[in-house]
Amino acid sequence: MVLLEFSMTPLDKGVSVSEYVSRSLKIIDESGVDYRLNAMGTVLEGEWDEVMGVVTQCYDKMSADCKRITCSVKIDYREGPKGRLESKIASIEEKLGKSVKK
């Protein structure tokens, strides 16, 4: 199962890009893929083709009206079951012996 975090940003739209980010989030939210938004990106969980398919949809939408885009993707594949959006954080809190800011 794959955790994939990505952020996708137009370079030709000035300092405020939340309009474009929110269009991506609409695609993510409607995809049915489980996800969590944070201040630096969105983390998706699913099979490779599933999560990459969502990133591709966001790219298709953004590249339709942006001349330059920067995108970073980080993937953590681990053999085994789903649920790591929550379990990775829980595992760290357990080892730390306290809850942390999420």
Q: Which of 31, 32, 40, 81 binds a copy of itself (CB under 8 A)?
A: 40
Q: Which of 16, 30, 37 is nearest to 58 (CA)?
A: 30
Whole-angstrom Cα distance, residue 34 to residue 80? Answer: 16
Is residue 70 near a copy of itself by the rule CB under 8 A?
A: yes
Please report, for residues 32, 66, 73, 93, the alpha-carbon distance to residue 17 in angstroms, rounded to integers and kept in the order given.
Answer: 24, 11, 18, 33
- What is the Cα–Cα distance from 15 to 12, expressed in whole angstroms? 9
Residue 18 found at the interface with a copy of itself (CB under 8 A): yes
Is 59 near a copy of itself (CB under 8 A)?
yes
Q: Which residues bind a copy of itself (CB under 8 A)?
A: 3, 5, 7, 9, 11-12, 14-15, 17-19, 21-22, 25-26, 29, 34-41, 43, 45, 48-49, 52, 56, 59, 63, 66-79, 84-86, 88-89, 91-92, 95-96, 98, 100-102
